[in-house]
């Protein structure tokens, strides 16, 4: 049977026939996505990132990692606005345009059409689609009216999707999609899905669990056929999610339930080669996955805490390397424990040095605070000098140290802000961290 199809925007992706990496806070950062693509994921969802976290970020091209970083300064105890010397810059979202740019879907956490549009507009040129998270049951999401809370406020969810379609999808020629959970009854889910497919979205993913259901409870698939039918009537692609563990299983389930694609989360967190079919080699041993993950993590200088978290999922608890990894403080120690070979061990050492982690001494919180305090005092002294200079007679003012410095500054060439931001070496500090929100 043929169905109508909403047109796929020029820069967007068709979700049909795709087996994709699910959005996962912490577990879906840049290196995990690159690994999933290497083993055959057709598309990758980034971790839910809240609109308010992205708004206010600066977009930078990082020439060391070849990534696009959305960064902002952390406060580090500094109460007054503006960056001070020694303040850390955090990476809120990092993506690799060359490898994943055309396959990456940015998942937004939002409860407001205006802020959703503002945040999505910032990242739309760098991604192939924007997905709204309407399924996360965690309190940090639902208390703000985001995630699964949106399932109870369909007017708001539809307003968000319509605003994104109109203001972001159409403008940037990418698709807008939504990820939901099933509701308690078939009738309630149908009512909701019928409204969602009328908003102009191009895809819908259904996590086949209700909001209160925990991950260990088996996914419920008896509403799936109805959801697929409603999506197909409207010309929208439907992806299934929940307890899909491999490409071969996904293909079989897609056939059984008529879905256009499938999304994999926890199985991919442990071993990304679940995206590779049996005929192409099937599941790779954990040692290979750990090595390839380390390679990507080092190439994009992933925050060490995040890398360690992922390695803990990949390396089995019983393996001696797991204990070594648990005790490690940086890439070098793990590269040695995993016996990654001279080339990767040398790379690990240089990444540790750049990130100031591991065997290299790291600046402590107290040291950083002290440095910030000095920077603040210096700024205060400068302000006082400036105020004093204003009350000085004119001739005395032109001889003051501040006036002399001003002269020198004016004499220096003026680099355009966007160039200095994007191209300047080391614009993103070595300690830049990937922070999933
Ligand atoms: C570590 C982790 C983080 C997750 N983060 C998100 C998220 O950011 N957005 C979202 O929509 N779902 C998130 N989920 C839910 C998954 O995308 C997926 O819906 C769920 O795990 C069911 O798929 P599975 O049975 O293949 O694990 C997360 C799941 C896990 C395990």
**CATH number, domain containing residue 204:** 3.20.20.70
Specify if 254 maps to a domain: yes
As for how many domains the chain has, the answer is 2
What Å distances lie between residue 433 and 39, 52, 291, 319, 370, CA to CA?
Answer: 26, 18, 21, 28, 21
Please indicate, yes or no, whether residues 209 and 179 belong to a single structural domain of this protein: yes
Instruction: Write out the residue range of the structural domain in which residue 309 sits.
Output: 286-355
Is the shortest distance between the CB of 266 and ligand 1 below 6 Å?
yes
Is the shortest distance between the CB of 23 and ligand 1 below 6 Å?
yes
Pocket mutation for ligand 1, best pick of 265, 266, 306 (most atoms within 8 Å of C-beta): 265
What's the mean per-residue pLDDT of the chain? 88
Please indicate, yes or no, whether residues 342 and 197 belong to a single structural domain of this protein: no
Please indicate, yes or no, whether residues 246 and 291 belong to a single structural domain of this protein: no
Query: Of 280, 307, 326, which one is at a domain's C-terminal end?
Result: 280
Specify if 306 maps to a domain: yes
Please indicate, yes or no, whether residues 42 and 187 belong to a single structural domain of this protein: yes
The helix, strand and coil proportions of the chain, stated in percent and rounded to the nearest 5, come to: 50, 15, 40
Distance 22 CA to ligand 1 centre (A): 6
How far apart CA 61 and CA 423 sit, in angstroms, is: 7
Distance 117 CA to ligand 1 centre (A): 23
**Is residue 225 within 8 Å of residue 259, measured between CB atoms?**
no
Q: And the tokens for 436?
A: 């999933």
How far apart CA 156 and CA 114 sit, in angstroms, is: 11
Active site residues: 136
Q: Which of 336-340, 367-371, 385-389 has the lowest mean pLDDT?
A: 367-371
How far apart CA 157 and CA 28 sit, in angstroms, is: 24
The pLDDT tens digits of the residues spanning 267-279 come to 999 999 999 999 9
Is the shortest distance between the CB of 264 and ligand 1 below 6 Å?
yes
Is the shortest distance between the CB of 27 and ligand 1 below 6 Å?
yes
**Is residue 237 within 8 Å of residue 202, measured between CB atoms?**
yes
The pLDDT tens digits of the residues spanning 5-55 come to 999 999 999 999 999 999 999 999 999 999 999 999 999 999 999 999 999
Query: Of 321, 355, 389, which one is at a domain's C-terminal end?
Result: 355
* Structure letter (DSSP) for residue 148: G
Closest CA to 68 of 47, 37, 36, 99: 99
Whole-structure pTM value: 0.84
pLDDT at residue 312 above 70?
A: yes
**Is residue 235 within 8 Å of residue 229, measured between CB atoms?**
no
Closest-CA residue, ligand 1 atom 21, reads 265
Q: And the tokens for 358?
A: 């591991």
Q: And the tokens for 168?
A: 């972001």
Residues 6+ apart with CB under 8 A from 98: 66
Is the shortest distance between the CB of 107 and ligand 1 below 6 Å?
yes
How far apart CA 103 and CA 275 sit, in angstroms, is: 15
Query: Of 251, 280, 309, which one is at a domain's C-terminal end?
Result: 280
């Amino acid at each position: 049977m043929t169905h109508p199809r909403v047109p796929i925007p020029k820069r967007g992706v068709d979700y049909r026939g795709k087996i994709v990496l699910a959005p996962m806070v912490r577990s879906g950062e840049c290196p995990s996505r690159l690994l999933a693509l290497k083993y055959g994921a057709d598309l990758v969802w980034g971790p839910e990132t809240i609109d308010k976290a992205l708004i206010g970020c600066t977009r930078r091209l990082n020439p060391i990692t070849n990534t696009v970083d959305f960064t902002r300064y952390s406060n580090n105890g500094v109460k007054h606005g503006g960056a001070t010397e020694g303040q850390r810059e955090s990476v809120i979202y990092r993506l690799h345009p060359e490898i994943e740019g055309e396959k990456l879907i940015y998942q937004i956490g939002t409860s407001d059409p205006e802020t959703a549009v503002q945040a999505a507009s910032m990242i739309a040129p760098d991604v192939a689609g924007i997905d709204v998270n309407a399924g996360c049951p965690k309190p940090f999401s639902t208390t703000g009216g985001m995630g699964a809370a949106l399932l109870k406020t369909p007017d708001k969810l539809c307003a968000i999707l319509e605003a994104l379609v109109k203001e972001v999808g159409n403008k940037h020629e990418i698709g807008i999609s939504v990820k939901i959970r099933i509701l308690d009854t078939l009738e309630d889910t149908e009512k909701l899905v019928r409204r969602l497919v009328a908003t102009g979205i191009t895809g819908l993913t259904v996590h086949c669990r209700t909001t209160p259901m925990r991950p260990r409870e088996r996914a419920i698939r008896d509403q799936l056929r109805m959801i697929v039918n409603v999506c197909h009537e409207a010309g929208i692609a439907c992806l299934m999610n929940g307890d899909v563990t491999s490409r071969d299983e996904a293909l079989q389930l897609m056939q059984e339930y008529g879905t256009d694609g499938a999304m994999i989360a926890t199985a991919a967190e442990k071993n990304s080669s679940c995206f590779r079919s049996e005929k192409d080699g099937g599941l790779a041993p954990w040692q290979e996955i750990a090595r390839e993950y380390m390679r990507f993590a080092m190439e994009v200088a992933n925050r060490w805490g995040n890398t360690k978290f992922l390695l803990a999922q990949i390396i089995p608890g019983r393996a001696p390397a797991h204990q070594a990894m648990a005790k490690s403080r940086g890439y070098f120690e793990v590269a040695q424990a995993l016996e990654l070979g001279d080339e990767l061990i040398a790379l690990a050492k240089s990444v540790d040095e750049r990130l100031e982690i591991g065997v290299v001494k790291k600046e402590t919180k107290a040291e950083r605070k002290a440095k910030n305090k000095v920077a603040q005092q210096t700024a205060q002294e400068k302000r006082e000098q400036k105020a004093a200079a204003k009350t000085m007679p004119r001739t005395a003012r032109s001889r003051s140290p501040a006036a002399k410095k001003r002269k020198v500054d004016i004499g220096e060439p003026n680099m355009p802000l966007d160039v200095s931001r994007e191209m300047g070496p080391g614009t993103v500090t070595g300690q830049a961290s990937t922070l999933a929100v």
